Amino acid sequence: MTTTFRTASLEDIDAIVALVTSAYRGESSRAGWTTEADLIEGIRITPDMVSRERSRIILLERDGQLVACGHVTEEDGAGYLGMFSVQPGLQGGGIGKLVLAEAERIVRVELGLMTMRMTVLDVREELLQFYERRGYARTGKFKPFPYGDERHGVPLRDDLQFVVMEKSLL
């Protein structure tokens, strides 16, 4: 089994949208532990969000098949990881740890930044704990959920917000 990383191209957009949606939304997401199906309906990512400038989407392929991805960009002097997704049936097998390590390497080595940041829904305690086990800490800062912006899905509750987490890459 061959596992490789590569940077996404415009030809990958449909596959990335399908992967990210399958990891977070709808019935297919329930096969994994990252599902938000009971919190938010609808889309998780759109093609225009994938093709933004000044960002890099890393893809992890296993035998030529897309199995995971992450969006690495710079935000306010820190690296930012978003759109971190693993095929639901493969979650819990170490693939996510590989993507996280590669994203951190890119931020530290290629972007020259010493902090990685991410946001996680505050009601996703198991996901917050996953990142804490990997050295991320809750900063005490929160960001509001973008209610009314259906590009981020349709929330099923009115109390969602994001926890800001950071990790030193020194």
What is the tally of structural domains in the chain? 1
User: Collapsing DSSP states into helix, strand and coil, what is residue 96?
Assistant: helix
Who has greater pLDDT, 53 or 128?
128
Q: How far apart (Å, rounded) are the C-alpha atoms in residues 66 and 144?
A: 31
- Give the tokens for residue 75: 């935000």
Instruction: Give the model's confidence band at 4: pLDDT under 50 very low, under 70 low, under 90 confident, else very high.
Output: very high
The number of CA neighbours under 13 Å toward the Cβ of 40 is 29
| Mean confidence (pLDDT) of the chain | 91
More confident residue, 29 or 115: 115
Q: List the CATH number of the domain containing 12.
A: 3.40.630.30
Range of the domain at 37: 3-168
- Does residue 53 have a pLDDT over 70? no
CA distances from 2 to 6, 62, 114, 166 (A): 13, 6, 30, 31
Longest dimension (CA), the chain: 44
For residue 49, what pLDDT is reported?
Answer: 66
Arithmetic mean of pLDDT, 56-61: 95
Query: Among candidates 120, 112, 158, 169, which has minimal Cα distance to 141?
Result: 120
Residue 98 CB neighbour total at 10 angstroms: 16
Residues in the chain: 170
At residue 144, the pLDDT reads 95
Report d(CA 164, CA 154) in Å as an integer: 21
Structure-model confidence comparison of residues 59 and 53, the more confident one: 59
Q: What is the pLDDT of residue 66?
A: 97
Identify the pLDDT of residue 54: 66
